[in-house]
Structure 1
């Protein structure tokens, strides 16, 4: 593949269950809309803990076609805003619980990979948040103080300690020990195969058009060529909630960008922490990041975010080209031996962003026995699996292990994103991106 072409790398994609379009009028005990990590984790836990329950998974395209198949594989602890902002908004006790929940979510994904007996390109290794810019240093200092005050094990790294791990001239960092990297598409496909083995039915190329309460009980989901009546429904549709008119608040569709490279030299791979499996995320607002791949290449993302709604195709193509070009230059700047490293893959994907940075995981107002999962704000690899397990437990009426977390809620805050609000938001995001790219 030449650098002028783009597509997600096929890292470990394998045979999938049949996914015919949904036709006619069908029924199911549970309908799961969305064949990404959240939806499939929910279906998997339901099928495992309630054998014999009739479960149908429906997707607008197919398994791993959305964000779960386009992610860059950083499995690290994070849910909601940075820890210092979480303390200010939710208080120390809730902020601590939020962080520990995200640590448990990482551990749960690692356990799931072992249970499914699929390697997924899994590489245990720490995740480093680092920077060399004054604004990033200030952010790291605030976060470090918050972690210490909460008694959380996130040690601060000096510049030499960061460079000893990844060989890039960062001046400070924070180390998340509970972290790993993996191929999220391979994990998503493994979950789909495991669900199919437990009797879960799959339907593809069937976008959800509407959902309404059933005449007697449950809900009725409408698709282009049919409808499905279900006793319970889980809508793991992320920012597509807006197009269906779900009353879950504002979940913005933001487009993010990534590139992957050819294999680097052994010396560069070692210097960039490849053999230890480190991933590095910059503390700047648009959080450019990189991680080594098992094949010896690198993957990088961040630096640019685009509000996808209302953007014409020519402008979006131009934004993508600029984002990919900058990521290629940034990767080559990480180490002298990368100066002429070719980019082999370029792609984009959609995340769901909420106004307060928290996901939405809860029942949908006005629709009995219908749940929504979405808005992970770019931190969905571990948390999506955790959200799916949480909703499965709720559908099975299993007792909750504790108080609700801040993202266990029916809706995100409403945001003024139509009319004059949309260009203002787009201008703000563009300004943040330009500032990040200049600083890096």
Structure 2
């Protein structure tokens, strides 16, 4: 997996030592050495992997569970997100109706709402140091195209009998001192994603789950029997009855047959704590976060200590060979931040960071057993909307491994559509991302 450019998020938590008390300095986890054995091995110590291990240990305490990460807990996308906890999975609701029918589209949306509620409840159960702030998430637009898209979505929600209010420009201004024409309002929350990941790691350790790090997965090998799989790491091998590979876009480099999960590097910036007046103007009263309806356009939220986090802009196709592309994206994000509200014109930008997400061609995650290794499951491809869904995926996989597969949704599948990416195609994809980013800049 490509390591993101240097730069840490503004969260109070960093990649944690799961055995240490919350807030202490992280330690380097031990590596895989020699030949190890486990009932279930989870590769990936992000939200998807750790939630899988947590729910597995909760459902069957007799299991010997091992979690292995290429670095350590929260080192990847789960520690580098922007902390927006909203109901989102797959395509927009009107597209979901066309592709899957109204019943499935309704179940998709309600599943994402339940996933948000599950994360809020989980944070309370784990005693996360900085609890989520429940509030509102507004998807808004400034363009005629955006108005048409939101109108189609609002009609689809009404058709499905779902309560997603439409806000006018005046309604938006009552919540945020920003100029948008209209929007859709969702019940949502914001949180410290690294703090949740660290709390999950500590909870797993308390349940007897073994956690190892600094051990990237090299590949899979058949075991001596059909009931065993061998996982190869630089320092040794793990013999396991079942495995869950929560490795996101690293699937391609490992050679997993899960379709195409594109590795994209996405960016964010954060300010110093804002004045009370600025916080009030930008969502402090209602806990409202804003997402621009235009793809790649900016989105923002306030943190618990009054910083403004702003993300968006042009994603970069990994691997990224130098930091010049990220530097250009951060500059544009700061320009957008300055123009968002007069109170931000002179505020200091204190943090700049990037994280790698997994993008699929149809916008849906992949959660299912490998076609050629039925006792090995893959989880990934949340397309940048994995904060709530990753925890839901972990619960789904834990149920499937202990009780059999639960009810299926469109993303409960073994592979995404395949998108051939020979070398000549990659510059075209990068150019397309650039065109989308320029359109977002015009919309903003």
Global fold match (TM > 0.5): yes
Which digits, 9 at most, give the CA deviation of each residue in 1:157-189, with x for residues without a partner? 000001110111111010002x10000100000
How much does 1:365 deviate? 1.2
Partner of 1:16: 18
Work out the CA distance in 2 between the residues paired with 1:198 and 1:10: 26
Which digits, 9 at most, give the CA deviation of each residue in 1:227-261, with x for residues without a partner? 00000100000000000000000000001000000
Q: 1:213 aligns with which of 210, 222, 230?
A: 222
Work out the CA distance in 2 between the residues paired with 1:125 and 1:382: 15
Work out the CA distance in 1 between the residues paired with 2:238 and 2:142: 53
How much does 1:121 deviate? 4.1
Which digits, 9 at most, give the CA deviation of each residue in 1:67-125, with x for residues without a partner? 00001100000000111111122222211111111001001001101111224341111
1:189 and 2:198 correspond: yes
How much does 1:398 deviate? 4.4
Give the 3-state SS of the residue equivalent to 2:75 in structure 1: coil
Task: Please tell me whether the aligned partners of residues 219 and 368 of structure 1 are also in contact (alpha carbons under 8 angstroms).
Answer: no
Work out the CA distance in 1 between the residues paired with 2:63 and 2:184: 45
Partner of 1:427: 431
Work out the CA distance in 2 between the residues paired with 1:399 and 1:144: 33
Partner of 2:324: 318
State how 1:220-239 maps to structure 2 within 5 Å: 220-239=230-249
Give the 3-state SS of the residue equivalent to 2:374 in structure 1: coil
1:272 and 2:282 correspond: yes
Task: Please tell me whether the aligned partners of residues 248 and 380 of structure 2 are also in contact (alpha carbons under 8 angstroms).
Answer: yes
State how 1:212-361 maps to structure 2 within 5 Å: 212-216=221-225, 217-309=227-319, 311-313=320-322, 317-361=323-367
CA distance 1:369–1:283, change in 2 (3 Å): same
State how 1:132-171 maps to structure 2 within 5 Å: 132-171=142-181
Q: 1:107 aligns with which of 107, 117, 121?
A: 117
Partner of 2:377: 371
CA distance 1:29–1:322, change in 2 (3 Å): same
Work out the CA distance in 2 between the residues paired with 1:51 and 1:287: 45
1:57 and 2:67 correspond: yes
Partner of 1:202: 211
1:382 and 2:388 correspond: yes
How much does 1:421 deviate? 2.0
Work out the CA distance in 1 between the residues paired with 2:136 and 2:391: 20
TM-score, scaled to structure 1: 0.95
Give the 3-state SS of the residue equivalent to 2:432 in structure 1: helix
Which digits, 9 at most, give the CA deviation of each residue in 1:287-321, with x for residues without a partner? 42000111111001012211114x432xxx22211
Give the 3-state SS of the residue equivalent to 1:46 in structure 2: helix
1:46 and 2:56 correspond: yes
Task: Please tell me whether the aligned partners of residues 360 and 375 of structure 1 are also in contact (alpha carbons under 8 angstroms).
Answer: yes
Task: Please tell me whether the aligned partners of residues 212 and 367 of structure 1 are also in contact (alpha carbons under 8 angstroms).
Answer: no
Partner of 2:420: 416
Task: Please tell me whether the aligned partners of residues 124 and 131 of structure 2 are also in contact (alpha carbons under 8 angstroms).
Answer: no
Give the 3-state SS of the residue equivalent to 1:157 in structure 2: strand
Task: Please tell me whether the aligned partners of residues 12 and 121 of structure 1 are also in contact (alpha carbons under 8 angstroms).
Answer: no
Size of the aligned set, in residue pairs, is 430
Task: Please tell me whether the aligned partners of residues 158 and 171 of structure 1 are also in contact (alpha carbons under 8 angstroms).
Answer: yes
Task: Please tell me whether the aligned partners of residues 211 and 220 of structure 1 are also in contact (alpha carbons under 8 angstroms).
Answer: yes
Which digits, 9 at most, give the CA deviation of each residue in 1:34-63, with x for residues without a partner? 000000000000111111210000000000
CA distance 1:126–1:119, change in 2 (3 Å): farther
Work out the CA distance in 2 between the residues paired with 1:287 and 1:147: 23
CA distance 1:50–1:304, change in 2 (3 Å): same
How much does 1:141 deviate? 1.3
Give the 3-state SS of the residue equivalent to 2:403 in structure 1: coil
How much does 1:5 deviate? 8.1
Give the 3-state SS of the residue equivalent to 2:214 in structure 1: coil
Segments ≥4 residues shifted beyond 6 Å: none
How much does 1:135 deviate? 2.3
Work out the CA distance in 2 between the residues paired with 1:113 and 1:411: 31
Task: Please tell me whether the aligned partners of residues 297 and 443 of structure 2 are also in contact (alpha carbons under 8 angstroms).
Answer: no
Bigger Cα displacement from structure 2, 334-343 vs 187-196: 334-343
Task: Please tell me whether the aligned partners of residues 7 and 354 of structure 2 are also in contact (alpha carbons under 8 angstroms).
Answer: no
Work out the CA distance in 1 between the residues paired with 2:142 and 2:194: 32
Q: 1:89 aligns with which of 99, 111, 116?
A: 99
